A and B are shown apart, each in its own frame.
Chain A
Amino acid sequence: MVFRFGTDAHLYDDPDDVNIAPLLDSKYDSEKCEALKRLLALIAKGLDVSNFFPQVVKNVASQSLELKKLVYLYLLHYAEKHPNEALLSINCFQKDLGDPNPLVRAWALRTMAGIRLHVIAPLVLVAVNRCARDPTVYVRKCAANALPKLHDLRLEEQKSTLEEIVGILLNDHSPAVVGAAAAAFASVCPFNLSLIRRNYRMLCEILPDVEEWGQIVLIGILLRYVIARHGLVKESVMSSLQCTDNFHSEKDVSDDDFRLAKESNHSGACDSEFVNMVSRGYIEGPDEYFSRSSYAKRVPFELNDAQFTSGKSNEDVKILLYSTSPLLRSKDSAVVLAAACVHWIMAPKEDVKRIIKPLLFILRSSNVSKYVVLCNIQVFAKAMPSLFAPYHEDFFIYSSDSNQVKALKLEILSSIATDSSISSISKSFRDPDRRFAAATVAAIGICTRQLPKMAHICVDGLLTLTRQELLTKDLGSRYQEADVLVQATISIKSIIKQDPPIHEKVIVQLVRSLDSIKVPSVRAMIIWMVGEYSSLGEIIPRMLTTVLKYLAWCFTSEALETKLQILSTVTKVLSGATGEGLSTFKKVFRYLVELAECDSNYDVRDLACFLKELLSYNFISQGSQGVYSLSEKDLHIVVNCIFRKQREVKTESINYRFYLPGSLSHMVLHTAPGYEPLPKPCSLLLDDINEPEGTRIIMKEAADYSGTDDHGTSSDPSDNESASDYGSQHSFSGSRSSGHGDDGESNEGNDNADLLLQISDIGNAAENQNGVFHSSPANLGELMSNRALESWLEEQPGSSNPGMLEQSQVRKSLARISIGDVGKRIKPKSYSLLKPANRNDLKVDYSFSSEISSISRLLVCIEVSFKNCSSETISGIKLVNVESNRASSDNVPTLVPMEEIASLEPGQTTRRIIQVYFHHHLLPLKLALFYDGEKLLLFQ
């Protein structure tokens, strides 16, 4: 107990052992402090103590800084619940903003902005504007941090002012402020890259001095700017392959040449198809991705020469690479990865190797980031195995690694293995952990596929392994030995597939050990090999009779999988057989079919019946050749088609998307809300950038305003003009850079981009901008599924309903899954489920509410509002999950049955909360709506 003496322990243990209310009203600061600490303890424990709010707010005027801090902590936690009482504190903040102590000013600003009330937004904006010109660095930094808070309130009309302040802060001479301003830029106006253009050089120069957190964000912004401004670098990894691809297609290379090229790729350069996929993934947005994968005809990814720049001659590219290269040595792994990302995308190919050592160094020096860094290295290594091949030692597996890390290391090792390193790599593959051994064996298989020369060694190793595993056959299930055996057989199978003739003896050995192998799937695989390679070489055809007899003998005791495989194998052998064995095979076949027809499993019975019919005319009832009988040759073809399909080598198509290295989406392998691909190369046009000189001057004037001007810019007419002009221009460049501004609407917008726009026009312009996104699609049905996904991910508010504009005050860059209970003033983003136009008069909207389900916390609450737009009463409205009655609803979202709405009067609106259990982010929920006895299918 002694060490707890003098701490706040008693407050945490028993926060409400005394009456808190009188303490808050005490005249002593110390008692108030104690009361607030007790409240804080209750908050920490997750209790709701918002009922003390009015009493706490009174104390905001206190002079004691500790008390202030505690009050602020409480205030920020509950302000949204008590907007009216929170307003009482505003006067105090206003006063504190003029305090000579910079700490008081900064805290007041932080808290005031953190309260997030629409009513006070204009006041906060003025305060931020003032603090952005404060002499103290810390206050300016807090001002930069306050911008995203204001931006969260979605003040469309204030947007230009916000952007203007971002511009001022980006221009700050203190690195600390620039870092915070970069973060503000990323959340307020990430597409307004022309703001960056003005300061690009300065930002690059200041980058190494910025705080690490600011560096991470700033690097990303600079990279986006350079790509939007100058395009990709011709000599970089990302684009060099486009050229080689063209080269290939032009010359129309023959197969041999191609294989040669591929081999040389392995030793020297990189996997061109893969890199192509990767670079495409970085640039294309989600909608393009979906359209590419859903349409049969793939639109080739094309970049013309104009979209490339030379890394050697372009100063902007050079300076970015120059200023990020020292950051590769930062102690913060996030900075290293961000800098590595820049070099990966922009650096000339020969310089990319610079990122390897720093990346590998993070692996050793910071344990927590190991997994994330490995995930990123995995993609780099697959794209350019040659880069990492000399460093294979760094991926050796330690027994202390976690399972995920081990798995990643294995995958990397198997993709970077070379002829010279394979022996040491395969030695490191031994691990006593059996779960892991299975994965290891699979990795050996992959290695061998890439390095055909090593096949013999690997197969030998795998064979010994299978033999070893046999010894522990009885323990198989207990220690996951079975997994290892299965993996080993799969690997052997895939190796044999590459070049069957030279591995004949391996097949023979496997067949010999058939009797001692008990794992059904392994037996099935070996039996498959018998059928597949029945005519191969010398030994196997001689063995066939014995093997088939053996199989027939043990047929009844086999598992389902094996039984099916035996039947098809015998058919295959039979179809290819000639000469002496034929009669035996036929006997065996007939015997097996008879057995199988009486089997308890219907799959086996079906197959048997099918085979009997298929082959009966040829083999079973030879005497009477029917009209339908097939000639021997045809039969061969039929059997081949049916049973040898597996032989077709499936080219591994890379289906999954690639995300920018270091992003969250890359880690979770789906698009996280708010993920933005790189901008389109050269999408930032010079016209957009060439702002009138006047703006600049006015900006300077604005910057020169003394901090004492309470009104700030919003009351000054000349500033208004400049601000609005500025804002509207940027909204166009923004829409253009996101690749949607190619239709008439943006032209219309351009006409509006008069130099003397008034503030009222900004809303208009913003609407136009939205309108671009809302281009109504011709075939709605086709887009529906895409939209369902998108709306879940909220990458784009790409709704097809223009009527929604008034309701949703959201913009593209603001992405949320759920919207917190921000108060009445802001409506959560809602989507229309059913529009009144669709031959009915019921309007159904839904939105994701942040409520927590009372039934289970796994359920997501969706607020659905039903509105009767007709003149008649609608009755019996009910939403039902279409797939709920399906048995295998493992991955399908499930819906808690909704209470039926008995009747809805004309014009009446009713709300219902439906609760859904989503198993996965990406799966849409299929709903059926019943009303007036009708059924409508809807998809959410």
Chain B
Amino acid sequence: MLQCIFLLSDSGEVMLEKQLTGHRVDRSICDWFWDHVISQGDSFKSQPVIASPTHYLFQVVREGITFLACTQVEMTPLMGIEFLCRVSDVLSDYLGGLNEDVIKDNFVIVYELLDEMIDNGFPLTTEANILREMIAPPNIVSKVLSVVTGNSSNVSDTLPGATGSCIPWRAAEPKYANNEVYVDLVEEMDAVINRDGALVKCEVYGEVRVNSHLSGLPDLTLSFANPSILDDVRFHPCVRFRPWESHQVLSFVPPDGEFKLMSYRIKKLKSTPLYVKPQLTSDAGKCRVNVLVGIRNDPGKTIDSITLEFQLPPCILSADLNSNHGTVNILGNKICSWTIGRIPKDKTPSLSGTLLLETELERLHVFPTFRVGFRIMGVALSGLQIDKLDLKTAPSRLYKGFRALTRAGEFEVRS
């Protein structure tokens, strides 16, 4: 049972407090928290569960805003954390992003939302669709109206019908002139490549995102051409379990608008679209760096937004790094980032240069790990293919669209 929720800005200011139960939590706990953030730095901020002298704290940090929840009694920590994530999702959806100003400017809405989302420390209504009907999100029209008339209420007078339905994620029957449904496959490739170029691990984490604008109560079925390659899946609550268990078919009544239908994982892939060949040699107080990047397996579409990042070792005095393509930047925290963009046809992009070590140091014996980023539009690298999308009672005009996108996830090259 959560007792209190605080919203902290990135400078540690308490922007909002919402007491949830009769056992009030003094906001001095935030000072305690922030003192520790300052003294222990980021490692404290990445700790989701903290035991303070008086309370247990759960924290979620999103775009500089810290969501802090307190409790004094046993509860499922993941529930607290997931709830804070949900709050931050809903807020960022309502306010079009999260930052200090936007929260302060709309503090009334934040309060109203929090009040609706949690009651006595237990989540009450967390479905975005229902919340939208209860508390209208701020938009240009309401803003103008409030300036012109000086009066506009964003609190709905009636209870959304979905609160009682057994499909709470779907708002009361909407009407659309054009019935559309878009399905996106968004994949992230995780890979670990050893310094000898061997692929230690390569897998894809993917999501099926659906954007549906369908009238009435549509019942959709989505099937894949090759569901057997899926290693593991997680579903939106709207997906019925049994059809998946028996036929690997996704049968669902979608929420209105955009949502994540399922996420999946495909393991043990055989190759990566890019190769990265780092060569580092170190002696006489120097370290020579040479990195080559090129296409290993052409996915059929252009690979763009290629980047390469690595952390320079702490014992480096200066770095002189140049590339024959793209730009090289060394950021403040000794992170070297090389922006390549697309691979040119006529040459292989390479980064080369020397790192000067501190004077007492003879040579470097631990080399950095390179993180690679890229994006490929129009291809799902895992090879997962959507077979068909059916609507049970198809309206007269239905537009269906499919897209795919792959980008790099935790793509690391050891050296």
Contact = CB atoms under 8 A, between A and B. Distances in A.
Contacts of B231: 357
Interface string B314-341: 1100000000000000000000000000
Interface string B186-215: 000010101000001100010000000000
Interface in A769-821: 815-821
A213 B122 contact: yes
A822 B22 contact: yes
Given A101-B158, A369-B81, A662 B76 contact: yes
Interface in A448-487: 468, 471-472, 474-475, 479
A152 interface: yes
A158 interface: no
A44 B82 contact: no
A858 B145 CA distance: 48
Interface string B53-86: 1101000100000000001111111110111010
A640 interface: no
For B142, B190, B260, the residue with the greatest tally of chain A CB atoms inside 10 Å of its CB is: B190
B315 A44 contact: no
B311 A668 contact: no
B260 A331 contact: yes
B326 to A, nearest CB: 21
B311 A399 contact: yes
Interface stretch (A85-93, A136-144, A266-274, A880-888): A136-144
A608 B278 CA distance: 57
Given A5-B147, A73-B115, A432-B368, A213 B27 contact: no
Interface stretch (B219-227, B234-242, B290-298): B234-242
Nearest to B124: A145
Interface in A385-425: 393, 396, 398-400, 402-405, 424
Contacts of A819: 23
Contacts of A337: 76, 78
A658 to B, nearest CB: 15
Contacts of A667: 49, 77
A361 B200 contact: no
A329 B48 contact: no
B196 to A, nearest CB: 10
Interface in A13-66: 13, 29-30, 33, 37, 40-41, 43-46, 64-66
A292 to B, nearest CB: 21
B46 interface: yes
B366 interface: yes
A138 B104 CA distance: 30
Contact of B201 (A333, A368, A393): A393
Nearest to A666: B77
A432 B164 contact: no
Contacts of A379: none
A720 interface: no
**Main SS of chain A's interface residues?**
helix
A727 interface: no
B15 A6 contact: no
Contacts of A149: 21-22, 120
Nearest to B164: A137
B265 A364 contact: yes
Nearest to A15: B107
B14 A46 contact: yes
B105 A30 contact: no
Contact of B194 (A77, A136, A427): A427
A876 interface: no
Contacts of B412: 398-399
B233 A820 contact: no
B313 interface: yes
**Main SS of chain B's interface residues?**
mixed
B51 A365 contact: no
Interface string B100-139: 0100111111011001000110111010000000000010
A673 B74 contact: yes
A6 B112 contact: no
B200 A857 contact: no
Interface stretch (A121-129, A174-182, A706-714, A747-755): A174-182
A176 B107 CA distance: 29
A144 to B, nearest CB: 9
Interface stretch (A102-110, A514-522, A584-592): A102-110
A338 interface: yes
Interface range for A? 35 or more
Contacts of B10: none
Contact of A46 (B23, B27, B157): B27
Contacts of B101: 4, 9
A464 to B, nearest CB: 9
Contacts of B46: 371, 402-405
B143 interface: yes
B236 A102 contact: no
Contacts of B108: 8, 11, 37, 40, 70
B17 interface: yes
For B120, B147, B231, the residue with the greatest tally of chain A CB atoms inside 10 Å of its CB is: B120
Contacts of B56: 664, 668, 672
A187 interface: yes
Interface in A473-532: 474-475, 479
For A12, A101, A183, A187, the residue with the greatest tally of chain B CB atoms inside 10 Å of its CB is: A12
Contacts of A183: 122
B95 to A, nearest CB: 10
B192 A428 contact: yes
B74 A674 contact: yes
B254 to A, nearest CB: 14
Given A12-B104, A664-B75, A475 B358 contact: yes
Contact of A816 (B28, B48, B73, B414): B73
Interface stretch (B148-156, B175-183, B299-307, B396-404): B148-156
Contacts of A4: 101, 105
A846 interface: no
A542 interface: no
Contacts of B201: 393, 396
Nearest to B153: A66
Interface in A277-297: none
A298 B234 CA distance: 45
Interface stretch (A204-212, A865-873, A906-914): A204-212
12 contacts: A29-B151, A46-B27, A69-B115, A76-B19, A103-B157, A103-B159, A216-B79, A364-B205, A396-B200, A471-B363, A664-B71, A668-B49
Given A213-B83, A402-B42, A662-B78, 20 more contacts: A6-B138, A65-B155, A65-B156, A66-B153, A80-B22, A101-B158, A114-B120, A142-B124, A212-B237, A213-B123, A220-B76, A331-B234, A368-B85, A398-B412, A475-B315, A667-B49, A668-B51, A815-B73, A820-B23, A820-B24
